[in-house]
Structure 1
Amino acid sequence: MNIRGLNFEFTETSSHVELAAAMHQQCFSKPWDEASFHSAMNIPGTVLVLASEKSVPVAFLVYRYSEPEAEILTLGVLPAVRQRSIAGALLDQGRLYLQERDVDTLWLEVSSRNKAALCLYKSQGFKETGRRKGYYQDGGKKEDAIIMKQIFSTSNLRIDKRKT
Structure 2
Amino acid sequence: MRLSHDYLTEETAAPVIAVLHQACFDPGWSEADFKSLLSVPGGLIQITSLDHAPIGFCFYRLVADEAEIITIGVLPEYRNRTVGARLLEKGQEKLAGLNIKTLFLEVSETNLSAQKLYENMGFSVTGRRKNYYTEAAEKVDALIMGKTLNSNNFH
TM range (shorter): over 0.9
Q: 2:143 aligns with which of 139, 143, 146?
A: 146
- What do the CA deviations read for 1:125-144 (whole angstroms, capped 9, x no partner)? 00101111111111221110
Native 8 Å contact 1:125 1:156 kept in 2: no
Kindly, what percent of the aligned residue pairs are identical?
37
Partner of 1:62: 59
Q: 1:45 aligns with which of 42, 53, 56?
A: 42
Partner of 1:21: 18
- What do the CA deviations read for 1:67-96 (whole angstroms, capped 9, x no partner)? 210000010100111111111111111112
- What do the CA deviations read for 1:84-138 (whole angstroms, capped 9, x no partner)? 1111111111112111221110010010011111011000000101111111111
List structure 1 runs of 4+ shifted beyond 2 angstroms.
153-157
CA distance in 2, matches of 1:92, 1:44: 23
Q: Secondary structure at the match of 1:92?
A: helix
* Structure 1 or 2: more helix by fraction: 2
User: Deviation of residue 42 (structure 1)?
Assistant: 1.3
Native 8 Å contact 1:128 1:146 kept in 2: yes
Q: 2:29 aligns with which of 29, 32, 45?
A: 32
- Unpaired runs of 5+ residues, structure 2, are none
Aligned residues, how many?
155
Amino acid corresponding to residue 115 of structure 1 in structure 2: L
Partner of 1:117: 114
Native 8 Å contact 2:93 2:151 kept in 1: no
Q: 2:75 aligns with which of 78, 88, 102?
A: 78
- Unpaired runs of 5+ residues, structure 1, are 160-164
TM-score (norm: length of structure 1): 0.89
User: Deviation of residue 154 (structure 1)?
Assistant: 5.4
